[in-house]
Every structure is written in structure tokens, then in C-alpha cells.
Structure 1
Amino acid sequence: MELNLLSGLLLLALLCLALLPFAIPGVLEVLLSLAIAAFVSAALMWFGWLPDDTSLVLLSLAMLTALSAVLLWKPLRKLQKTGIRLQEDSAISDFVGTELVLTEQANKDSDSHIQFCGLEWRVRLDPEDVALLVEPGQTVVISSAMVGLLLVKSKTS
């Protein structure tokens, strides 16, 4: 089987798309732009609007990569910033509002532990809670969730 420019461009585009899930943010934009440019160049060749000349195809690939990178830069940055904000904002966690029954005493100064969703979590009484400590066996409500730590409020507050 002979590898011509058209099939080479399609192979390049598919390879770039296959590598996208493994790319770090700086490389992600380049791979996506290159994949789009390769697909567009291949389509231009397929319809006969771009001659089958290596130098023209490479020039087209470079120009279309730059154009798609410029057009995609702002939307991709906005998506990445939104993803970071959502990940750090514990107020939107799915756990907030969930009721738990404590197995250990919880207070504001030190962490206790609880089994929740198949994991062992550190539990601390929320600084805004009026209670100073909550005894084991009492029901609490998760007020905030961070990586490995649940802040809880007593059910009476």
C-alpha cells in the first residue's frame, strides 16, 4: 500500500486525536490545532482545491494550524479555568447536605474519621457550627467537602 499525502494527512490527524487524552494543557491545544488543520488540508486535497504538492500541503498545514490555534486559544483557556474553579470550590460538592452518623467524636480542633462511600474520611466540625463537639452516634450534615476532609455541622444547628 502506498502512502500518499492525503492518507498521510489523515493519519496525522487521527494520531493527534488519539494522543489528546494523554496531553498536558500546553500540548493539548497544539495537538487539537494540528488535527483540525490536517483534516481541513486533507479535505481541500480531496475536493481538488489544494494541489498534490508537498510544499503547498505543508504550507497549508502550517497556516491552518496557526489559524485554528488562534481561534481555539480563548475558548480552551476559558474551559480550563472553569474546570479549575469548579474543582477547588467545595461548596458545589455532591456531598454537601448529606447526613452522616458519626462513629467517633467530632470537634473543631482535631480530626476524627468515618467510613463514607467506601473510603475513610477525616471529619472535622465546621468552625461556623455553634456546637463545640458532637458525640458518636449523632447525626451530622456535611457542610463542605475537600480532598480527604469533610466539614460537618451538627443537625441541631
Structure 2
Amino acid sequence: MELNLLSGLLLLALLCLALLPFAIPGVLEVLLALAIAAFASAGLMWFDWLPQDASLVLLTLAMLTALSAVLLWKPLRKLQKTGVRLQEDSAISDFVGTELVLTQQARKDCDSYIQFCGLEWRVRLDPEETASVAETGQTVVISSAMVGLLLVKNKSI
């Protein structure tokens, strides 16, 4: 199988897209810009608007990558700044509403511990709960989830 410039550009673009989920911020933007530029360069070559000269193709790829990066920079930064952060907003956590059976007594003033999702979590009774203690073996509902801490309420029947 012969690898020409067109198929090389398409392969580069697909490789960049495949690496996007694993990229850290900063590298993510570069990979996305490179993928867009590689697809655009391949399109220009496909329609014969760009000759298949390696130095000209690389120059075009570099210029289109820079242009894509400049055009994408502000929108991507805006998305990162306004994105919802799950760790800070426990109201949207997937754990909220999950029922647990306590293995230790839960109180408002001190932490107890429970195994949940393969980890040991600190558990505390929610300050809004009317009761001051939830006994061992009682079913409770997660009302808030923070890093390493679950606030729980008694299950309403």
C-alpha cells in the first residue's frame, strides 16, 4: 500500500481526533487545530486546488493550523471558563438521590464512614435533616456529594 500525501494528511487528521479525549488543556487546542488543518489541506488536494508538492503541503498545513488555532482560541477558552464543574456543584452530582444502608451511625456533628462505589466515604447527616442521628442499618438518601464527603437524609417513606 502506497502512502501518498493525501492519505497521510487524512491519517494525521484522524490520529489527532483520536487523541483529543486524552489531551490536556493547551494540547487539546493544538490537536484540534491540526486536525482541522489536515482535513482542510486534504480537501484542497482532493479538489486539485493544492499541488501534491510536499513542501507546499507542509507550508499550507502550518498556515491552516495557525489560522485554526487563532480562530478557535477564544471560543474554546470561553467554553472552559463557563463550563459546569461537577466537583464544586453537588446539586448536579450523579450520587444525589442514591439510597444507602448505613454501616455506622451518622450524626450531624461528626463523620462516620461507608463503603460506596469501591471507596470509603465520610458520611455526615445533612444539617437540614430534622433528626440528629441516623442509626446503623437505616436506609438514607444522599442529599449532597462533595469530594470525599456524602451528606445524607433519612429516607422518606
Q: Same fold (TM over 0.5)?
A: yes
CA distance in 2, matches of 1:7, 1:74: 31
User: Residue 74 of structure 1 aligns with which residue?
Assistant: 74
Q: Size of the alignment, in residue pairs?
A: 156
Amino acid at match of 1:42: A
Match of 2:58 in 1: 58
User: Quick check: 1-10 or 54-63, which moved more?
Assistant: 1-10
Deviation at 1:7, TM superposition (A): 2.8
Aligned to 2:7: 7
TM-score between both structures, scaled by the size of structure 2: 0.80
SS of equivalent residue, structure 2 residue 144? strand
Distance 1:4 1:37 in 2: 17
Indicate how the Cα distance of structure 1 residues 6 and 114 shifts in structure 2: closer, same or farther if over 3 A, else same.
same
- Quick one: structure 1 residues 110 and 63, their matched pair in 2 at CA, closer, same or farther if it must change by over 3 Å? same
Q: Point out where structure 1 has 5 or more consecutive residues left out of the alignment.
A: none
**Residues 128-143 of structure 1 mapped to structure 2, 5 A cutoff:** 128-143=128-143
Note the C-alpha offset of 1:34: 0.4
Separation of aligned partners in 1, 2:81 and 2:19: 22
Show the counterpart of 1:41.
41
For residue 142 of structure 1, give the secondary structure of its aligned residue in structure 2.
strand
Q: Whole-Å Cα distance in 1 between the matches of residues 3 and 115 of structure 2?
A: 58
Partner AA of 2:35 in structure 1 = A
Deviates more, 1:32-41 or 1:128-137: 128-137
Q: Once the two structures are superposed, what CA deviation does each residue of 1:51-104 show, in whole Å capped at 9, x if it has no partner?
A: 223333223212211222233223333443455523431111122233333221
Query: In the aligned structure 2, how far is the partner of 1:139 from the partner of 1:11?
Result: 54
Question: Is the deviation greater in 105-114 or in 28-37?
Answer: 105-114
* SS across alignment from 2:18: helix
What is the TM-score with the length of structure 1 in the denominator?
Answer: 0.80
| Seq. identity, % | 87
Listed as ranges, the gaps of 5+ residues in structure 2 are none
